[in-house]
């Protein structure tokens, strides 16, 4: 003899709700968050260091929060840019969640901040499922990782508003097939912008800052097919700007 109850509850509803609250709270103070996702060693930190330095030169108030399982190495590197930086240690957790992020921002995020860059834990699987209240989600892949990365991690690349290819200075050495990579990105995320970058040569450096500033100014953001299921309330990480 049993009873059943129909719950119809989204498992990640609590995170989605917290993320939406954080997005609203940030917007109220004139700040947007940028969530950076990539595998370990893809060159996120080095590119971000360049972008933060550029922001400082241009007088754009930015801040960065970087998450790792262990070590404060990334915060030390990002801190060289001279902008406010905070290291978050996840104690083994493979991703950030919205409530955790909010806890780390409370009492730290400088009031003047306009762009908050969040360097997620290096991992293309788990962070993809968690909206952090960002207004721009960026997936990065280096040329050394292979052209099929977007197919192997379809959620990470499929939910991105912008895709950055890093370490293009190594493209020739590793025989990177740019056309194949672009085709794979289009397959999981039709219409998303893909930008080639190299922190070494400076190619594409500044694009991340420019795109983030455009979103801050209210320009429409790409809406990934995977992020807007028909007739589904959750899963759209962004307010509809269009």
Partner 1 sequence: MHEMSIALAVIEQVEQAAAEHGAQAVEEVLLQVGELAGVVPQALDFCYELACADTVLAGSTLTVEPVAARARCVDCGREWAVGMPPDLACPGCGGARTELLAGRELQILQVRWAADPVLARADQEG
Rounded to 10°, the helix 44-58/207-216 angle is: 60
Over the window 148 to 187, marking each residue x when it contacts partner 1 by CB under 8 A and - when it does not, the resulting string is ---xx-xx--x---------------------------xx
Determine the distance from the C-alpha atom of residue 233 to the mean position of all C-alpha atoms in its chain, rounded to a whole number.
22
Query: Which region among 50-58, 59-67, 71-79, 223-231 touches partner 1 (by CB under 8 A)?
Result: 223-231
Instruction: Return the number of the residue (50 or 161) whose C-beta is nearest partner 1.
Output: 161
Q: Pick the binder of partner 1 from 31, 45, 87, 189 (CB under 8 A).
A: 189
| Interface with partner 1, residue 69, by CB under 8 A | no
- Burial category of 143 from C-beta neighbours within 10 Å (exposed 0-12, middle 13-18, buried 19 and up): buried
Tell me phi and psi for residue 78, to 5 degrees. Answer: -65, -30
Minimum CB separation from partner 1 for residue 174, in Å? 22
The secondary element (H helix, E strand) that includes residue 88 is strand 85-89
Sign, CA torsion 95/98/216/241: positive
Q: Which spans of this chain sit near partner 1 (rule: CB under 8 A)? A: 1-15, 93-95, 97, 125-126, 128-130, 151-152, 154-155, 158, 186-191, 225-226, 228-230, 232, 235
């Amino acid at each position: 003899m049993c009873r059943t109850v129909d719950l119809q509850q989204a498992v990640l509803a609590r995170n989605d709700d917290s993320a939406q609250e954080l997005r609203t709270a940030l917007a109220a103070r004139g700040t947007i968050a940028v969530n950076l996702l990539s595998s370990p060693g893809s060159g996120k930190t080095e590119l971000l260091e360049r972008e933060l330095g550029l922001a400082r030169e241009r007088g754009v108030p930015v801040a960065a929060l970087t998450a790792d399982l262990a070590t404060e190495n990334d915060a030390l590197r990002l801190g060289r840019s001279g902008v406010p930086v905070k290291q978050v240690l996840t104690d083994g957790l493979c991703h950030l969640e919205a409530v955790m992020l909010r806890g780390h921002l409370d009492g730290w995020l400088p009031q003047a901040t306009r762009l908050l860059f969040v360097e997620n834990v290096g991992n293309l699987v788990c962070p993809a499922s968690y909206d952090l209240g960002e207004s721009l989600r960026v997936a990065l892949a280096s040329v050394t990782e292979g052209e099929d990365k977007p197919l192997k991690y379809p959620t990470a690349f499929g939910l991105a508003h912008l895709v950055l290819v890093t370490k293009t200075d190594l493209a020739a050495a590793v025989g990177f097939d740019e056309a194949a990579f672009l085709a794979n990105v289009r397959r999981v995320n039709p219409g998303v912008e893909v930008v080639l970058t190299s922190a070494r040569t400076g190619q594409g450096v500044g694009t991340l800052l420019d795109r983030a500033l455009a979103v801050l100014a209210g320009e429409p953001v790409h809406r990934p097919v995977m992020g807007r299921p028909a007739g589904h309330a959750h899963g759209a990480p962004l307010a509809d700007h269009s």
